[in-house]
Structure 1
Amino acid sequence: MATNDFDDMSQFGMANWDGMESKDQPRQTNRVLMLLRGRYHWAIILATVFGLAGGMAGYFRKGNEFQSHAQIRIPQSRDVLLYNDVDTRFQINTFDSYMESQVQLIKSPQVLNEAIIDPRFEQYFGKLPKATALEIILHNLVVNHPRKLEVINFAFVNDSPDKAQAGVQSVLDAYLTYTRNEYKKRGSDKINQIRTIRQAEQNKISRLQQEKNFLISEFGTETTIIVEHDNLRNNIQEIKLELRDLQEKIKSFVPSYNNAPTSDSGGKDNAMASDAIVAQLALTDPHIRTMLSQKELLEARLHMYDTRGIGAGHQEVQNTRAELRAVKRQIDQYVLSGSGLALDASGAPQSPIKQLRAREQTLEEEIDEKEAAALTLAERINKIAQINEEIGETKDDLNFTNTRLEKLEVEQPEDQTVDVLNSGDYPLEPYNSAKRMQFGLVGFAGGAGFGVGIILLVGLADRRLRHAEDAQAGFKDVRMLGVLPTLPSELTDPEQAAIASHAVHHIRALLQIAAAPDENERMGLAYSVTGPAAGSGKTSMTISLGLSFAATGSKTLLIDSDLVAGGLTRRLDIAVHMPLSEVLFNNNILTETQVHEVHLAVRNRNITEAQFIVDRQMASQEQVNHALEQQQETAVGILEVCAGLNFRDAIGTTDIENLHVLPIGNAQPHHAGQLSPVELRKLVDQARRYYDIILVDTGPVLGSLEASIMSSNVDNVIMVVSRGDNKSLTYKSFEHLYSLKAKVAGVVFNHALSEDMQKTSYATMSAAQSRRQSDLLPREVFTQQQSERYGPLASAVASYGSVRKNKRTA
């Protein structure tokens, strides 16, 4: 169930109704009062009994106790000899932390073990096992330090004043002895520790100096290493410049024949870089001259193809270009291999490119060698710099350590300064007299609360609705439309009948106020009346509200959709038979057109269907008589209307003016599965056209299919709950309605006790006791038999309202 369904009930038109008893959110105290209602006397009795028992137990829980106090002072500062910054002052926050540590020290085993062997402790407490003695001290000792003060307070509690004083004095002396010894030991240890740190720093400086000397031993000094490194870097730069010039020269010897030119003009620029070398070699090498002649012949052929207009896609052009590329590659390979060059002393060709490549490799190897040497020198220089920095930092630490050691040796006191302000007083009277009274009051309150809690648990275990507020406890925004009293089956008390009638009229008035339709609105309002369980009074509520609406002149229709119980149809004794024309149609005597003609004639003229059919000779008198006999055996209602029967042909009249009924007809419980939400919506829409108010009597919310369907097709749902209904079932019913997006107008609490009635506005009707008895005499509207059928609530509404009987019956 979505939270928003309950947070904004104004969408249902119920936000500002007058006369409501419910609040937006029941307080917790109201919930407690709801659980105690009707059980107040038992709650008072149990609260008194358990309260007295708890008070006595609390008061006598402990006897008289005595408390002895002691107090010491630890100053934040002391007089100094030379240096005023050596452990002589504390910041406020640091001092408080130190004092708290002293409190913990006092309660530590180191101090308490000394306290239990103190002669005064053994004198008053006797020789006790160590565990027992420690437990006594820990249980009775109280130590605290007031914040921002220089004092620590001791307190020892016991039922004997002598033991209380002995206990606090033993702990105080044990603390003073322990701290004195520990302070001396700590001061000596601190100086020795600082001396050890100084020696370690001196050793570190010596080790670092040796490591530095080893690194510069090869060169003599740090400056020599730096100069050597700079010279080496300059030499590397000179070699790199020579290498860059050599690489530029090599590039000028490399031919570019791989990408063949697309035309003769495009190929000249690409061949110029190697043409000079090739032309020079051709002067002395006949093989190169032959390849050059072949190249020129192929180029001339391409030129001829071009002048004749033969395109690049021609097979001959493509073949010639392929041959030209092959000749160029042969020339390059021949030149680069050195085949056409002069031989050296060993007989190998002396290629210019090969010579340049060899020099390039030599320079690169020389650069790599010198780079490695320069990197080694740089690492050594960085290592020396790190050692120098570390030596400087260590010397600074050594200077600080020497200064610290000198200050401590000068200012270290012999003993810690602790002033004893109170060595342990002797208690003269018990300190816990007021506390015993407090324990008694707490015990009384706890016992009384326990007694009330038992009654509350009984109330929580009772899962029945006992009062009107119970129906609203789970839903803060559910509105209480009204409360109906418990009525006997034979209502003879005029005052009781008047109150019941007023309650129903009040509910009807609230519904009318909430609806507040526009003056131009002609459609009727539809309400579904349902409940969490059978027997909640849904049918009685439907009939009574129908009588109340009819008394105001509203044309009212009651629809019985409870196919299981059919209580509305049974109590009003309504039976609507199938129209004669429909019977003849089912017997295949009349056509559908004739049936429609009969319906129009009967509605517009003062004539019966039988008379019209016989007069128009649509059927013989014998056929009509036979159909009339069949008609008495039929009963139509909500199921037949959903199946297609004309809506007005299924409506039955009652003894009350403006009150009409749509019964269930011959429908049985298993017919509920034939009800369609679409058809029921159409039925409600038809009813809106002819009636001002439509009240739908349904079965229980959780056990009735038609209740769920109707709840989502009407304007508002009226939930009727009865005293004694199951709470869980009621709350689940509300959740189910909200899950269907149904608009809940509110809840009506039925069979209420007199105390619930006194809380409502209907309680003013009790003032009728002071009126003349004749003012409460009811009007005779129903006969005795009708009163029994309609029920006591409907009879009360009819007797104390403006209900008028019909001049003509159905």
Structure 2
Amino acid sequence: MSDELNFNAPSGTPVMQTTGDDDSSQRREKLMSLLRGRLHWAVLLSLILGGGLGYLGYSSVVPMYRSTGQVVVESEELIFDGIDDSTSKKRWYSFVARQQQMLRSQEVAERAMASDTWKSRGDEAVEWTPQQFSKAIDTEIDERNNDKNIFTISFDAPDAITAGVGNRALLDAYSEEFDYRAETRFMNRVTQLQSQVQKSEIKIKQYLAQRRTVLTDYEFNQMEADIRALTNQRIELQENLDTVRAELNSRNPIQEGMSTNPADLISNDPVLNQMQIQIDEIEDRIKVLEFGGKGPGHREVKGLSAERDVLNAKMEVRIEQLLSEDIDALIGDPEYDRLRQLEQLWHRQLADVQSRLEKLNAKQAEVADLQELIDDEQRIIDKSRDSINEINVEMDSLKGTIDIFAPGATPSSPDNGGKAKQVAVLGGMAGTGIGFGFVMLLGLLDSRLRHAGDARMGLRDTRMLGILPTLPENFADPEQSERAAHAVHHIRTLLQISNRGTARVFSVTSPAAGSGKSSLSVAMGLSFAASESKTLVIDCDLVGAGLTRRVGAVVNRSVEAILREDTVLTDDQIANAMSHAREKGTNLKDALVELGMLTKKDLQRLNRRQADSALGILDACQGRPFSECVANTGIENFNVLPIGAAKPQDAGLLSPKAIRNLIARAREEYDIVLLDTGPCLGSLEASMCAAEADATVLIVSRGDSKSMATKARDHLISVGANVVGCVFNHALEADMNSASFASIVSQERRTDPAQSLLSADPAIAARFGPLGSAVAAFGTPSKSPNGKPRRQSVANGSSNGH
């Protein structure tokens, strides 16, 4: 094989030696796998769709003729001179954009279509609508012009005459519409702005009249000064009032309106407040002494309590003095009376000033709202008048703004000829892509294994041991047979070198029935036998029993054993009968009849009993020697342990321990042991055999499900099987030619014709199958490696019965 295998992995699957280009090669391989076997259909479909869509694309492009005229802008105010002046550049491109909108307007189209120039085209049978006319117009700036003052106007039509006439009619209509719109637009705009100025002036007069109802013009002008004067006067009165009240409070602690509650008096009278502070300090000291364990009778506690009582008494006296103060006597005091009168005067003046200031502030707020409305209207007036001035300037600048520099001529050839080719090419490319994409989609939706490449992609981590061709039941092509035999020998060689040649027990399984497990097991058994390896093929498929049926391996119990088990005859009688058979040269059954020990009826019953006593894998698992259970196939070193009398329901009798013991015994007597199991996803014995074998071969066939193949591989790995590789069966000729063993021996060195005839022998093909018969014919040399003649007899059936 072209890929290297790592057989030294302790378990799981062989490892691919990867390179740095694996990702790209894998993507390429996956892409090619979708087209493998379908490439000819993809090419055919792509040619059909590509040609069809290319033709449709080419024919879908209607030939269009283009007539081009040029308009030059004469106004210096609009020309963009190329200098990096953002203002002039913006003005120029804004002007061009407005002209493009005008050219495509319905008014220009109707004006052009109503002109005599348009009517002279002579093709009045084809009706044009203003919308169609507008869509046929195209404009662009002539960047080649250094002055940047020319833009081109094009007109497209299905015929050359209409294109030329249409362009000339368009240019004339555009020039007329430009002048009309310029005058109309400017005049309408000026009228609107003047009307706006008049409305704003009327509103300003209304707002001024409303303001005079609040304040006269003189009051409005003096309002700020009055507010400042009243504010200063209020501050001065407040300061004087605070000074008088401070003097009154110093003369009478009980302020006017203040509560006579003792608590309020203590809080406002400095003397009472100081006494209360001293009392609180004494109580805190008493609490500290009591916390320290000193009771009320303690000397220090008593002293502090006495001080507190004295202070309480003084506070009571002070409160009584304050409450019993003669208010009339205090009023009679000239100084106190003067201060009270001064306080009342300044209080009234302050209230009057505050009232006047509040009224003035309210009027100021009302006037401010009106003034803001007046300012808004004045800004509108200023902006409108500026716009009127700009319009007047623009009207002057647009006089003689545009001039028809080059009227459109009649074109001589279609303008979109290249577009038709482009569309045809795009259509062809799209058709080709659709063709390949459709075939690849079919490949993506196809869940079957169709080629060996599909198996490589689906089982990427599992190596491809070999590829087996599709062989007919009866074939006479020696080259085909020889190639199939060589493929099996290739697989056998890789297995022999696996794990450095230590692997001797191999299980063969598949994802589903019909993949060719039994055929591969027989073929590999014959190949191992041809390499001088004593080989035992064990049919572990208790449900399918394909290997036993294919080889026809039946091992019946001997007549002697049945007679001894049934105790019909004594040991002496059986010994005499066997001696008589040897003397006469007959078998034991005939000797028993001749000696009268058995009747013909007994002989028939004995034959039925022997036919029903087939030995096989279950008997070997129970300890019966291989010499009694193994069928002789007639091929040297090729032995088969059949199913025997086991039924499908007997699969539950097998256990990993029984399989392990069976394999251990087989290792002692045989060089190679092949375990032919059922599908690993549906049989019990397949998982047990795969787990106990040195290596497991997974065979998949063309037509198998990709997902089932992947699940089978994953299942084998999960049970601890060493999946040494995969074999792809029923491969097509293309897959066989791509294999590393595809080269065939030259004509001069081909096997002799006798072996070619042997591969076509119907008896051999029926017994070993096409693959096995190919190996039997082309895998067995005339002499063994030691030079001795090879014994070969493959046409007879196998039975160990007597």
Q: State TM-score, norm by structure 1.
A: 0.60
1:504 Cα deviation from its structure 2 partner = 1.6
1:424 partnered with 2:397: no
In structure 2, what residue type is equivalent to 1:78? E
- Supply the distance in 2 between the matched residues of 1:246 and 1:764 (Cα, whole angstroms): 125
1:570 partnered with 2:549: yes
Q: Does 224-233 or 743-752 show the bigger shift?
A: 224-233
Q: Select 1:25's aligned residue among 24, 27, 30.
A: 27
Q: Select 1:730's aligned residue among 693, 706, 712.
A: 706
1:530 Cα deviation from its structure 2 partner = 0.5
1:484 Cα deviation from its structure 2 partner = 1.5
Given that 1:562 and 1:706 are in contact with CA atoms closer than 8 Å, whether structure 2 keeps it comes out as yes
- Supply the distance in 1 between the matched residues of 2:41 and 2:614 (Cα, whole angstroms): 55
Matching residue of 1:171? 170
Distance 1:692 1:26, change over 3 A: farther
Matching residue of 1:12? 13
- Supply the distance in 1 between the matched residues of 2:508 and 2:359 (Cα, whole angstroms): 101
Matching residue of 2:109? 112
Given that 2:14 and 2:463 are in contact with CA atoms closer than 8 Å, whether structure 1 keeps it comes out as no
1:796 partnered with 2:798: no
1:666 Cα deviation from its structure 2 partner = 4.3
- Supply the distance in 1 between the matched residues of 2:198 and 2:693 (Cα, whole angstroms): 96
Given that 1:140 and 1:158 are in contact with CA atoms closer than 8 Å, whether structure 2 keeps it comes out as yes
In structure 1, what residue type is equivalent to 2:407? S
- Supply the distance in 1 between the matched residues of 2:392 and 2:189 (Cα, whole angstroms): 13
- Supply the distance in 1 between the matched residues of 2:664 and 2:415 (Cα, whole angstroms): 87
Given that 2:165 and 2:410 are in contact with CA atoms closer than 8 Å, whether structure 1 keeps it comes out as no
Distance 1:440 1:777, change over 3 A: same
Given that 1:69 and 1:425 are in contact with CA atoms closer than 8 Å, whether structure 2 keeps it comes out as yes
Matching residue of 1:539? 518
Given that 1:560 and 1:662 are in contact with CA atoms closer than 8 Å, whether structure 2 keeps it comes out as yes
Counterparts of residues 261-660 of structure 1 (less than 5 Å): 261-262=290-291, 263-264=294-295, 275-280=309-314, 401=383, 404-405=386-387, 408=390, 411-414=393-396, 416=398, 417-432=401-416, 466-471=450-455, 480-510=464-494, 515-517=498-500, 526-531=506-511, 533-549=512-528, 558-573=537-552, 633=613, 635=615, 637=617, 641=621, 652=630
- Supply the distance in 1 between the matched residues of 2:547 and 2:360 (Cα, whole angstroms): 109
Q: Select 1:698's aligned residue among 677, 683, 693.
A: 677
1:121 partnered with 2:121: no
Distance 1:12 1:134, change over 3 A: farther
Q: Select 1:253's aligned residue among 255, 276, 290.
A: 276
Q: Select 1:134's aligned residue among 130, 134, 142.
A: 130
1:124 Cα deviation from its structure 2 partner = 3.3
Given that 2:526 and 2:638 are in contact with CA atoms closer than 8 Å, whether structure 1 keeps it comes out as yes
1:697 Cα deviation from its structure 2 partner = 3.1
Counterparts of residues 94-243 of structure 1 (less than 5 Å): 99-100=96-97, 102-124=99-121, 133-138=129-134, 140-144=136-140, 151-187=150-186, 196=196, 220-224=225-229, 227=232
1:163 Cα deviation from its structure 2 partner = 1.3
1:552 Cα deviation from its structure 2 partner = 5.2
Give deviations 1:279-306, integer Å, cap 9, x for gaps: 3378x8xxxxxxxxxxxxxxxxxxxxxx
- Supply the distance in 1 between the matched residues of 2:620 and 2:529 (Cα, whole angstroms): 26
In structure 2, what residue type is equivalent to 1:223? R
Structure 1 counterpart SS, 2:710: helix
Matching residue of 1:307? none
Given that 2:654 and 2:685 are in contact with CA atoms closer than 8 Å, whether structure 1 keeps it comes out as yes
Counterparts of residues 53-68 of structure 1 (less than 5 Å): 65-68=64-67
Given that 1:201 and 1:398 are in contact with CA atoms closer than 8 Å, whether structure 2 keeps it comes out as no
Distance 1:707 1:194, change over 3 A: farther
1:668 Cα deviation from its structure 2 partner = 3.1
Give deviations 1:587-629, integer Å, cap 9, x for gaps: 9xxxxxxxxxxxxxxxxxxxxxxxxxxxxxxxxxxxxxx9xx9
Give deviations 1:216-254, integer Å, cap 9, x for gaps: 9888445346646866998999999x9998498658638
Q: CA RMSD in A?
A: 6.5
Given that 1:578 and 1:636 are in contact with CA atoms closer than 8 Å, whether structure 2 keeps it comes out as no
In structure 1, what residue type is equivalent to 2:36? M
**Structure 2 gap segments, 5+ residues each:** 1-8, 250-263, 328-346, 567-605, 785-789, 793-797
1:539 Cα deviation from its structure 2 partner = 1.4
Matching residue of 2:333? none
Matching residue of 1:324? none
**Structure 1 gap segments, 5+ residues each:** 1-8, 285-334, 347-365, 588-625
Given that 1:66 and 1:429 are in contact with CA atoms closer than 8 Å, whether structure 2 keeps it comes out as yes
Matching residue of 1:315? none
In structure 1, what residue type is equivalent to 2:404? V
1:384 Cα deviation from its structure 2 partner = 11
1:499 Cα deviation from its structure 2 partner = 0.6
1:78 Cα deviation from its structure 2 partner = 2.2
1:382 Cα deviation from its structure 2 partner = 12
- Supply the distance in 2 between the matched residues of 1:647 and 1:77 (Cα, whole angstroms): 118
Given that 2:557 and 2:613 are in contact with CA atoms closer than 8 Å, whether structure 1 keeps it comes out as no
1:147 Cα deviation from its structure 2 partner = 8.0
Give deviations 1:53-110, integer Å, cap 9, x for gaps: 7676666667765322223355896279xxx99997124xx85576456435533445
Given that 2:447 and 2:706 are in contact with CA atoms closer than 8 Å, whether structure 1 keeps it comes out as no
Q: How many residues align?
A: 658
In structure 1, what residue type is equivalent to 2:133? I
Identity across matched positions, percent: 27
Matching residue of 1:328? none
- Supply the distance in 2 between the matched residues of 1:269 and 1:377 (Cα, whole angstroms): 66
Matching residue of 1:316? none
Give deviations 1:556-613, integer Å, cap 9, x for gaps: 664544332121233345568999xxx9xx99xxxxxxxxxxxxxxxxxxxxxxxxxx
Matching residue of 2:590? none
Distance 1:98 1:703, change over 3 A: farther
Structure 2 counterpart SS, 1:424: coil
Given that 2:78 and 2:95 are in contact with CA atoms closer than 8 Å, whether structure 1 keeps it comes out as no
- Supply the distance in 2 between the matched residues of 1:684 and 1:183 (Cα, whole angstroms): 109
Given that 2:14 and 2:461 are in contact with CA atoms closer than 8 Å, whether structure 1 keeps it comes out as no
1:720 Cα deviation from its structure 2 partner = 2.9
- Supply the distance in 1 between the matched residues of 2:412 and 2:234 (Cα, whole angstroms): 92
In structure 2, what residue type is equivalent to 1:488? P
Distance 1:779 1:506, change over 3 A: farther
- Supply the distance in 2 between the matched residues of 1:150 and 1:475 (Cα, whole angstroms): 71
Given that 1:651 and 1:660 are in contact with CA atoms closer than 8 Å, whether structure 2 keeps it comes out as no
- Supply the distance in 1 between the matched residues of 2:380 and 2:187 (Cα, whole angstroms): 20
Q: Does 411-420 or 448-457 show the bigger shift?
A: 448-457
